[in-house]
Chain A
Amino acid sequence: KQEVTQIPAALSVPEGENLVLNCSFTDSAIYNLQWFRQDPGKGLTSLLLIQSSQREQTSGRLNASLDKSSGRSTLYIAASQPGDSATYLCAVNHDKLIFGTGTRLQVFP
């Protein structure tokens, strides 16, 4: 059974810091991995999608890497801003999407 874990569970930082969020999964047989953002009481916003054959994807201040063999992905957020405050979820896809435990991020001015 696929299990997805995220570390840290919560993070509070001053704005401007560069951040690394970690995601690990137990079964490396995945099609792809996605990072999502969720604001309180809201749905999900897809941030980055990495196919199993790829090593990383970038979008603006966000960079996600994937090491499928070791079952790990990281989301790098550069120059964090208060507007980045949200819960970040990674999810691995193999016919169905299994979500990680989430990292609650707070960036204060």
Chain B
Amino acid sequence: GAVVSQHPSWVICKSGTSVKIECRSLDFQATTMFWYRQFPKQSLMLMATSNEGSKATYEQGVEKDKFLINHASLTLSTLTVTSAHPEDSSFYICSARDKSVEKLFFGSGTQLSVL
């Protein structure tokens, strides 16, 4: 089946630094990828929709300047948490849409801890 690779799986950083998370579709082309955030014991909240070659669409309440999304190729989208603060500590998950089968596949997630 289709595989989505997400790296890193966990990261610890100091407050004020930036962290980049990668999401790759390994065996299909993904024109659309989605980024979610999940706080402990809560559900996944959609942050933004990433379209290859165009600007990402952010959900209400998500700061586009803080969560930079780049979808430069059909197999790679990146989420950069800029000037991270402890309140950004969360579990981030990406998903990629395989249009050939009209299904979404999910990465394994990234646990971000900001000290």
Contact = CB atoms under 8 A, between A and B. Distances in A.
Contacts, number: 43
Interface in A5-63: 34, 41-44, 46, 49
A42 B46 CA distance: 17
A93 B106 CA distance: 14
Interface in A60-94: 89, 91, 93
B93 interface: yes
Size category, A interface: 10 to 19
Contacts of B44: 44, 89, 91, 99
B43 A42 contact: no
A96 B103 contact: no
A101 B43 contact: yes
Contacts of B42: 101-102
A97 B34 contact: yes
Contacts of A107: none
A97 B46 contact: yes
A104 B111 CA distance: 20
B95 interface: yes
Interface of B: 6, 34, 36, 41-46, 49, 91, 93, 95, 103-109, 111
Interface of A: 34, 41-44, 46, 49, 89, 91, 93, 96-102, 104
6 contacts: A41-B109, A44-B44, A46-B104, A89-B43, A97-B95, A102-B43
